[in-house]
């Protein structure tokens, strides 16, 4: 019994001209250096310095963001597509849905921050 057939056995193998057999596209190792798509990096070079990640919001700011996210995802105050949070809050208030007051306070405290 022979080896199981593979799907690649049905198709002829084609090689691009100019590429020697056995070479992998993108990585060519040359005397301790790896060449990747036109760039050369030493194997033992240190990683590039990264910038400090942006500071995470403080605990009160995170609580406000969580409250606004809950308001955005709550369907009891109507759909939120195409209007701002403040417009949605005012519409819910006009319809008698009693939206949370702290959301209005947060929206009025930061009027230019979407």
pLDDT at 103 over 70: yes
CA dihedral 37, 39, 45, 47 (to 10 degrees): -70
| pLDDT category of residue 113 using cuts at 50, 70 and 90 | confident
Q: CA–CA distance from 16 to each of 19, 23, 24 (Å)?
A: 6, 11, 12
What's the CA gap between 106 and 108, in Å, rounded?
6
User: In this structure, what token pair is assigned to residue 73?
Assistant: 């995802």
Q: Which residue has the higher pLDDT, 8 or 21?
A: 8
| pLDDT category of residue 59 using cuts at 50, 70 and 90 | confident
pLDDT at 1 over 70: no
Query: Taking the domains of the chain in order of start, what are their residue ranges?
Result: 74-113
């Amino acid at each position: 019994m022979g080896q199981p057939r593979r799907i690649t056995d049905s198709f002829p193998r084609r090689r691009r001209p100019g590429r020697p057999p056995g070479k992998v596209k993108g990585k060519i190792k040359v005397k301790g250096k790896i060449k990747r798509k036109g760039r050369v990096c030493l194997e033992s070079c240190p990683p590039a310095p990264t910038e400090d990640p942006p500071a995470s919001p403080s605990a009160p700011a995170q609580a406000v963001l969580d409250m606004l996210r809950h308001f955005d995802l709550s369907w009891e105050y109507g759909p939120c597509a195409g209007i701002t949070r403040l417009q949605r809050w005012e519409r819910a208030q006009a319809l008698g849905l009693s939206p949370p007051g702290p959301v209005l306070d947060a929206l009025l405290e930061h009027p230019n921050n979407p």
